[in-house]
Amino acid sequence: MPATANVTVLDRAQLAAEGISTRWSTRVLRTLGSSGPLRPAEIADSAPIPAGSLYKVTGLLERAGTITRLPLPGSRRYELALTDAGRALGPVHSAALAWADRHLVGRTELEAPEAIDDAMNLFASPHTGAVLFELVAGEPLTVSQLAERLPVGGTGVLHHRLSVLAEHGLISRSGTPRTYRWAISEAGMHTGSMVRELSGWAARYLPSAAHPNSAPRATSAVMAASSATGVVVVAAPSPATSRTAAELRRDTLRIHFSHAPGPQPPALLRSAAAGPRR
C-alpha cells in the first residue's frame, strides 16, 4: 500500500494493543525497566509470572519490538533488555492504568501491571474501536444497524463482541433480546486518552502502522467506522489534484486527533462525535 494510505487513530491503537497487551506483558516490561537487562530465569525470579507463560510473553514482546536479546559472551545464554520502544511505553501504561482504576471491571482483584494489560487488551480484539466509534454520538443502534456499518462476519459475531464489551462496561443495552439497542457508556467514552497514547506510540514505533493492509484485523472494521463518521486521520494527503468533498472534510477534521502539542480533547472518542454522520 502506498505511503499516502489513510491510517486512523483506531487502526494504530489496535496494532499497538495486539503486540503489548498480552497477559504479563506489562509485568515483564516493568521488571526490565527497573532492573535493567536480565536473563529469562532472573525475570521469573523477580516477577510472579507462571513459568509456562514467560517465554511466550517475551517472544511476543520481542516481535513487537519492545525488548531485545543481548547475547552473553562465551555462552548460548542471553539477557533481555528494553528497546527505545519499550522505554517509551510509560505514557501508554499511565493512561491505561488511569482508565482501569476508574472503569475496569474487576480492578480490585488485579495488581497494577495486570490491570494495564486488561485495559489495553480491550482494544486488541477486533471491532472494539469500530463499535465505540459508531456509538460515540450517543445514538443507540441495533445489531443489524451496526452490522450494516461494519464489515463483520454476520450478526452472530457482532452480537458476541457486543456482549463482551457490555460485560466490561464499555457499552450498555436496552430493550428486549429481540430489540436490543446498544449505546456507549461513560467508561467507553473515557477510553480516549488510552487510545490516543496507544496510537501515538504505534505511529512512532510500529512500521506496520503506516501500512494498514499489513494488519487486516485492525483495518477493515475501523476504517469503515471512521468513514461513517466522516473522521479519518491520514498519514499524508493524496497528491492527486482532484479531491472529493469527503476527502477535504477528513483533512479538516484531522485536528481532532492531532498528536501535536496543545490542548487535547478530554476524551478522544467524544471529540469524534463532532464529525458529521452519514
- Residue 70 pairs with which residues in a beta bridge? 79
Q: How far apart are CA 23 and CA 46, in angstroms?
A: 16
Instruction: Report, in angstroms and rounded to the nearest whole number, the Rg of the chain calculated over CA atoms.
Output: 20
Cα 219–112–9 angle (5° rounding)? 20
Q: How far apart are CA 51 and CA 61, in angstroms?
A: 16
pLDDT at position 210: 64
Roughly what angle, to the nearest 10 degrees, separates helices 25-35 and 90-103? 130
Q: How far apart are CA 67 and CA 87, in angstroms?
A: 9
Minimum mean pLDDT range among 7-21, 79-93, 206-220, 258-272: 258-272
- Cell numbers 527497573: residue: 34
Q: List, in order of start, the domains of the chain with CATH numbers.
A: 1-20+89-278 (1.10.10.10), 22-86 (1.10.10.10)
pTM for this one?
Answer: 0.73
Q: How far apart are CA 2 and CA 13, in angstroms?
A: 20
Minimum mean pLDDT range among 41-55, 88-102, 222-236: 222-236
Over residues 98-140, the pLDDT tens digits come to 999 999 999 999 999 999 999 999 999 878 888 998 898 778 9
Q: How far apart are CA 147 and CA 126, in angstroms?
A: 14
Cα 163–164–169 angle (5° rounding)? 95
- Is residue 152 pLDDT above 90, yes or no? no
pLDDT at position 240: 34
Q: What phi and psi values does residue 39 have, to the nearest 5 degrees?
A: -75, 155
- Asked if 70 and 37 touch (Cβ cutoff 8 Å), the reply is yes
The one-letter amino acid at 8: T
- Residue 68 pairs with which residues in a beta bridge? 81
Grid cell listed for 227: 468513514
Greatest extent of the chain over all pairs of C-alpha atoms, in Å:
68
Q: How far apart are CA 67 and CA 29, in angstroms?
A: 8
Q: How far apart are CA 120 and CA 30, in angstroms?
A: 16
Over residues 230-249, the pLDDT tens digits come to 332 222 223 333 334 333 33
pLDDT at position 224: 31
Over residues 186-195, the pLDDT tens digits come to 999 999 999 9
